[in-house]
Structure 1
Amino acid sequence: MKFGALLPLCLLFSACALFQRDTRPVHAPPEEAARVQFPLDLPADTRMTLSGALVTAMQLALDDFLPLNVKPHSGASPEEVCLYQRESYDVIASPGADGVMFVRITLRPDTCEKHGPIMDMGATYAVDIAGRRILAVQR
Protein backbone atom coordinates (compact mmCIF):
# COMPACT_ATOMS: atom_id res chain seq x y z
CA MET A 1 0.00 0.00 0.00
CA LYS A 2 1.34 3.43 -0.90
CA PHE A 3 1.72 6.32 1.55
CA GLY A 4 -0.89 8.34 -0.35
CA ALA A 5 -3.50 5.65 0.30
CA LEU A 6 -2.60 5.40 4.00
CA LEU A 7 -2.86 9.12 4.72
CA PRO A 8 -6.68 9.37 4.37
CA LEU A 9 -7.09 6.23 6.47
CA CYS A 10 -4.86 7.66 9.24
CA LEU A 11 -6.78 10.94 9.19
CA LEU A 12 -10.08 9.07 9.45
CA PHE A 13 -8.94 7.10 12.51
CA SER A 14 -7.55 10.26 14.12
CA ALA A 15 -10.87 12.02 13.61
CA CYS A 16 -12.74 9.13 15.24
CA ALA A 17 -10.78 9.75 18.43
CA LEU A 18 -12.39 13.19 18.66
CA PHE A 19 -15.88 11.66 18.97
CA GLN A 20 -15.19 9.36 21.93
CA ARG A 21 -17.08 10.33 25.05
CA ASP A 22 -15.24 11.13 28.24
CA THR A 23 -15.85 8.38 30.79
CA ARG A 24 -14.67 10.43 33.75
CA PRO A 25 -17.30 12.14 35.93
CA VAL A 26 -17.68 15.90 36.07
CA HIS A 27 -15.70 17.60 38.85
CA ALA A 28 -16.81 20.69 40.75
CA PRO A 29 -14.88 23.93 40.18
CA PRO A 30 -11.89 24.47 42.53
CA GLU A 31 -13.77 27.14 44.54
CA GLU A 32 -16.56 24.70 45.35
CA ALA A 33 -14.16 21.83 46.03
CA ALA A 34 -12.22 24.02 48.50
CA ARG A 35 -15.35 24.27 50.70
CA VAL A 36 -15.51 20.49 51.27
CA GLN A 37 -14.38 19.40 54.73
CA PHE A 38 -13.16 15.81 54.82
CA PRO A 39 -13.50 13.91 58.13
CA LEU A 40 -10.34 12.45 59.68
CA ASP A 41 -11.99 9.04 59.53
CA LEU A 42 -15.28 7.86 58.05
CA PRO A 43 -17.82 7.34 60.86
CA ALA A 44 -17.99 3.65 61.77
CA ASP A 45 -21.76 3.71 62.37
CA THR A 46 -22.61 4.94 58.85
CA ARG A 47 -19.84 3.70 56.58
CA MET A 48 -20.25 0.81 54.16
CA THR A 49 -17.59 -1.41 52.68
CA LEU A 50 -18.26 -2.80 49.22
CA SER A 51 -15.99 -5.26 47.48
CA GLY A 52 -14.31 -4.23 44.25
CA ALA A 53 -16.15 -7.03 42.45
CA LEU A 54 -19.49 -5.76 43.69
CA VAL A 55 -18.75 -2.17 42.71
CA THR A 56 -17.51 -3.27 39.27
CA ALA A 57 -20.66 -5.32 38.62
CA MET A 58 -22.94 -2.52 39.75
CA GLN A 59 -21.10 0.09 37.69
CA LEU A 60 -21.24 -2.01 34.52
CA ALA A 61 -24.95 -2.73 34.99
CA LEU A 62 -25.79 0.92 35.74
CA ASP A 63 -23.73 2.16 32.79
CA ASP A 64 -25.76 -0.11 30.52
CA PHE A 65 -29.15 0.50 32.15
CA LEU A 66 -28.87 4.29 32.48
CA PRO A 67 -25.69 5.81 31.01
CA LEU A 68 -24.59 9.04 32.69
CA ASN A 69 -24.69 10.98 29.41
CA VAL A 70 -28.36 10.14 28.67
CA LYS A 71 -30.74 13.03 29.35
CA PRO A 72 -34.55 13.30 29.22
CA HIS A 73 -36.11 14.51 25.97
CA SER A 74 -37.23 18.10 25.58
CA GLY A 75 -40.61 18.63 27.23
CA ALA A 76 -40.30 15.56 29.45
CA SER A 77 -42.79 15.32 32.31
CA PRO A 78 -41.52 15.42 35.91
CA GLU A 79 -42.08 11.64 36.10
CA GLU A 80 -40.00 11.10 32.96
CA VAL A 81 -37.22 13.33 34.31
CA CYS A 82 -37.30 11.29 37.52
CA LEU A 83 -36.77 8.06 35.54
CA TYR A 84 -33.50 9.46 34.11
CA GLN A 85 -31.95 9.94 37.57
CA ARG A 86 -29.86 7.09 38.94
CA GLU A 87 -30.83 7.99 42.49
CA SER A 88 -34.41 6.97 41.60
CA TYR A 89 -33.31 3.33 41.54
CA ASP A 90 -32.19 0.72 44.06
CA VAL A 91 -29.42 -1.70 43.18
CA ILE A 92 -29.20 -5.18 44.68
CA ALA A 93 -26.39 -7.62 43.92
CA SER A 94 -25.69 -11.26 44.64
CA PRO A 95 -22.70 -13.40 43.67
CA GLY A 96 -23.32 -16.37 41.42
CA ALA A 97 -21.12 -19.25 40.32
CA ASP A 98 -17.95 -18.95 38.20
CA GLY A 99 -17.24 -15.25 38.89
CA VAL A 100 -20.68 -14.04 37.85
CA MET A 101 -22.41 -11.30 39.83
CA PHE A 102 -26.15 -10.81 39.48
CA VAL A 103 -27.23 -7.18 39.70
CA ARG A 104 -30.88 -6.14 39.94
CA ILE A 105 -31.87 -2.52 39.28
CA THR A 106 -35.38 -1.53 40.40
CA LEU A 107 -37.26 1.73 40.61
CA ARG A 108 -37.49 2.89 44.23
CA PRO A 109 -41.08 2.57 45.47
CA ASP A 110 -43.09 5.81 45.25
CA THR A 111 -40.17 7.72 43.70
CA CYS A 112 -41.48 8.65 40.25
CA GLU A 113 -45.05 7.41 40.56
CA LYS A 114 -47.08 10.63 40.93
CA HIS A 115 -49.84 9.52 38.51
CA GLY A 116 -50.01 5.82 39.27
CA PRO A 117 -47.60 2.90 39.38
CA ILE A 118 -44.91 2.54 36.73
CA MET A 119 -44.43 -1.03 35.59
CA ASP A 120 -41.39 -2.79 34.19
CA MET A 121 -38.78 -0.16 35.11
CA GLY A 122 -35.82 -2.30 35.95
CA ALA A 123 -33.58 -5.11 34.87
CA THR A 124 -31.41 -7.92 36.21
CA TYR A 125 -27.88 -8.30 34.87
CA ALA A 126 -25.49 -11.23 34.86
CA VAL A 127 -22.01 -9.67 34.97
CA ASP A 128 -18.70 -11.44 34.34
CA ILE A 129 -16.43 -9.74 36.88
CA ALA A 130 -13.07 -10.96 35.53
CA GLY A 131 -13.99 -10.09 31.94
CA ARG A 132 -15.66 -6.79 32.92
CA ARG A 133 -18.59 -7.56 30.62
CA ILE A 134 -22.31 -8.11 30.75
CA LEU A 135 -23.23 -11.71 30.00
CA ALA A 136 -27.01 -11.34 29.85
CA VAL A 137 -29.86 -8.98 30.74
CA GLN A 138 -33.34 -9.93 31.91
CA ARG A 139 -35.93 -7.13 31.61
Structure 2
Amino acid sequence: MTKLAVREYTGVKALALQALLFACSGCFHVHRKPQIASEQVAATIQFPEWSQDKTTALTGPELKALQIAMDDFKPLGSEASKKDDAWTRCLSRLESYDAWVRGGERVTFIHFTPKEDERCGLQPSLMDAGASYAVSDDGIILKRE
Protein backbone atom coordinates (compact mmCIF):
# COMPACT_ATOMS: atom_id res chain seq x y z
CA MET A 1 0.00 0.00 0.00
CA THR A 2 1.24 3.44 -0.79
CA LYS A 3 1.38 6.21 1.81
CA LEU A 4 -1.55 7.95 0.10
CA ALA A 5 -3.66 4.78 0.20
CA VAL A 6 -2.84 4.31 3.91
CA ARG A 7 -3.84 7.91 4.67
CA GLU A 8 -7.11 7.54 2.73
CA TYR A 9 -7.85 4.23 4.50
CA THR A 10 -7.15 5.80 7.91
CA GLY A 11 -9.32 8.80 7.03
CA VAL A 12 -12.19 6.53 5.97
CA LYS A 13 -11.88 4.57 9.24
CA ALA A 14 -11.96 7.79 11.27
CA LEU A 15 -14.97 9.05 9.32
CA ALA A 16 -16.79 5.73 9.79
CA LEU A 17 -16.05 5.80 13.52
CA GLN A 18 -17.36 9.37 13.81
CA ALA A 19 -20.53 8.42 11.92
CA LEU A 20 -21.05 5.40 14.18
CA LEU A 21 -20.55 7.45 17.35
CA PHE A 22 -22.93 10.13 16.10
CA ALA A 23 -25.58 7.56 15.20
CA CYS A 24 -25.29 5.91 18.62
CA SER A 25 -25.22 9.13 20.64
CA GLY A 26 -28.90 8.63 21.52
CA CYS A 27 -28.10 5.15 22.86
CA PHE A 28 -26.09 6.38 25.82
CA HIS A 29 -27.96 6.82 29.09
CA VAL A 30 -26.64 9.61 31.27
CA HIS A 31 -26.73 8.68 34.93
CA ARG A 32 -25.97 11.21 37.60
CA LYS A 33 -24.30 9.47 40.53
CA PRO A 34 -25.64 10.51 43.93
CA GLN A 35 -23.43 12.25 46.44
CA ILE A 36 -22.55 9.84 49.26
CA ALA A 37 -21.73 11.01 52.78
CA SER A 38 -18.45 10.18 54.47
CA GLU A 39 -18.12 7.14 56.75
CA GLN A 40 -18.06 9.50 59.75
CA VAL A 41 -21.45 10.95 58.82
CA ALA A 42 -22.87 7.51 57.99
CA ALA A 43 -21.83 6.25 61.44
CA THR A 44 -24.12 8.86 63.07
CA ILE A 45 -27.24 7.70 61.19
CA GLN A 46 -29.67 5.27 62.80
CA PHE A 47 -32.35 3.72 60.61
CA PRO A 48 -35.84 3.63 62.14
CA GLU A 49 -37.76 0.46 62.80
CA TRP A 50 -39.62 -0.28 59.59
CA SER A 51 -43.36 -0.73 59.96
CA GLN A 52 -46.23 -0.22 57.53
CA ASP A 53 -48.16 2.11 59.81
CA LYS A 54 -45.30 4.64 59.97
CA THR A 55 -44.18 4.59 56.35
CA THR A 56 -45.48 5.40 52.91
CA ALA A 57 -45.33 2.35 50.68
CA LEU A 58 -45.36 2.43 46.89
CA THR A 59 -45.90 -0.74 44.89
CA GLY A 60 -43.39 -1.65 42.20
CA PRO A 61 -45.63 -0.34 39.38
CA GLU A 62 -46.26 2.89 41.33
CA LEU A 63 -42.53 3.38 41.88
CA LYS A 64 -41.85 2.77 38.18
CA ALA A 65 -44.62 5.23 37.22
CA LEU A 66 -43.23 7.86 39.58
CA GLN A 67 -39.75 7.53 38.03
CA ILE A 68 -41.18 7.81 34.50
CA ALA A 69 -43.23 10.89 35.42
CA MET A 70 -40.23 12.48 37.18
CA ASP A 71 -37.99 11.89 34.15
CA ASP A 72 -40.59 13.52 31.89
CA PHE A 73 -41.46 16.36 34.27
CA LYS A 74 -37.86 17.32 35.04
CA PRO A 75 -35.58 15.77 32.40
CA LEU A 76 -31.88 15.42 33.10
CA GLY A 77 -30.12 18.66 32.22
CA SER A 78 -33.17 20.90 32.64
CA GLU A 79 -31.68 22.85 35.54
CA ALA A 80 -31.95 26.64 35.52
CA SER A 81 -28.87 28.81 35.30
CA LYS A 82 -27.80 31.46 37.80
CA LYS A 83 -28.91 34.09 35.27
CA ASP A 84 -32.56 32.97 35.47
CA ASP A 85 -35.04 34.73 37.75
CA ALA A 86 -35.98 33.39 41.21
CA TRP A 87 -39.20 31.76 39.94
CA THR A 88 -37.42 29.83 37.21
CA ARG A 89 -34.64 28.70 39.55
CA CYS A 90 -37.19 27.60 42.17
CA LEU A 91 -39.50 25.73 39.80
CA SER A 92 -36.63 24.01 38.00
CA ARG A 93 -35.62 22.15 41.19
CA LEU A 94 -37.43 18.87 41.88
CA GLU A 95 -37.21 19.46 45.64
CA SER A 96 -39.53 22.47 45.20
CA TYR A 97 -42.42 20.06 44.56
CA ASP A 98 -44.47 17.50 46.44
CA ALA A 99 -45.66 14.42 44.57
CA TRP A 100 -49.06 12.87 45.15
CA VAL A 101 -49.33 9.25 44.01
CA ARG A 102 -52.53 7.26 43.68
CA GLY A 103 -52.89 3.77 42.28
CA GLY A 104 -55.64 2.74 39.90
CA GLU A 105 -56.42 -0.36 37.88
CA ARG A 106 -53.17 -1.02 35.96
CA VAL A 107 -52.49 2.74 36.02
CA THR A 108 -50.82 5.11 38.48
CA PHE A 109 -51.81 8.75 38.80
CA ILE A 110 -49.14 11.24 39.84
CA HIS A 111 -49.47 14.95 40.53
CA PHE A 112 -46.51 17.27 41.11
CA THR A 113 -47.55 20.33 43.09
CA PRO A 114 -45.15 23.26 43.59
CA LYS A 115 -44.35 24.49 47.10
CA GLU A 116 -42.67 27.73 46.04
CA ASP A 117 -43.79 29.53 49.20
CA GLU A 118 -42.41 26.92 51.63
CA ARG A 119 -39.30 25.88 49.71
CA CYS A 120 -38.23 29.10 47.99
CA GLY A 121 -39.83 31.91 50.00
CA LEU A 122 -41.87 33.09 46.99
CA GLN A 123 -45.55 33.99 46.86
CA PRO A 124 -47.58 31.13 45.33
CA SER A 125 -48.70 31.65 41.76
CA LEU A 126 -52.11 30.55 40.55
CA MET A 127 -50.67 30.14 37.06
CA ASP A 128 -48.51 27.10 37.90
CA ALA A 129 -50.63 24.40 39.47
CA GLY A 130 -48.06 21.67 38.80
CA ALA A 131 -48.47 18.71 36.48
CA SER A 132 -50.51 15.52 36.47
CA TYR A 133 -49.63 12.18 34.88
CA ALA A 134 -51.41 8.89 34.24
CA VAL A 135 -48.82 6.14 33.70
CA SER A 136 -49.72 2.55 32.82
CA ASP A 137 -48.15 -0.39 34.65
CA ASP A 138 -46.37 -1.06 31.33
CA GLY A 139 -44.55 2.27 31.73
CA ILE A 140 -46.45 4.28 29.11
CA ILE A 141 -47.54 7.85 29.83
CA LEU A 142 -51.24 7.64 29.01
CA LYS A 143 -52.00 11.29 29.71
CA ARG A 144 -50.31 14.37 31.11
CA GLU A 145 -51.62 17.82 31.85
Taking structure 1 as the reference length, the TM-score comes to 0.70
2-structure distance, mates of 1:109, 1:101:
25
User: Which residue of the other structure, out of 109, 112, 122, is the alignment partner of 1:105?
Assistant: 112
Deviation track 1:72-129 (CA, whole Å, cap 9, x = no partner) reads 13412223211111111111122223x1111111112623462552522411111012
**Residue type at the aligned position of 1:65:** F
Percent identity between the two aligned chains? 26
Does residue 135 of the first structure (1) align with residue 127 of the second (2)?
no
| Structure holding more helix per residue | 2
Structure exhibiting the larger radius of gyration computed from Cα positions: 2
Aligned length: 129
Q: CA RMSD in A?
A: 3.1
Taking structure 2 as the reference length, the TM-score comes to 0.67
Secondary structure at 2:38's aligned position in 1? Answer: helix
User: Which residue of the other structure, out of 32, 39, 58, is the alignment partner of 2:46?
Assistant: 39
2-structure distance, mates of 1:126, 1:71:
24
Asked if 2 retains the 8 angstrom alpha-carbon contact of 1:94 and 1:103, the reply is yes
Secondary structure at 1:36's aligned position in 2? Answer: helix
Task: List gaps (5 residues or longer) in structure 2.
Answer: 1-8
Q: Which moved more, 1:116-125 or 1:60-69?
A: 116-125
Asked if 2 retains the 8 angstrom alpha-carbon contact of 1:126 and 1:134, the reply is yes
Once the 2 structures are TM-superposed, how far is the Cα of residue 64 of structure 1 from its aligned partner? 0.6
User: Which residue of the other structure, out of 69, 72, 78, is the alignment partner of 2:80?
Assistant: 72
Asked if 2 retains the 8 angstrom alpha-carbon contact of 1:66 and 1:86, the reply is yes
Asked if 2 retains the 8 angstrom alpha-carbon contact of 1:79 and 1:113, the reply is no
User: Which residue of the other structure, out of 112, 117, 131, is the alignment partner of 2:125?
Assistant: 117
Does residue 94 of the first structure (1) align with residue 102 of the second (2)?
yes
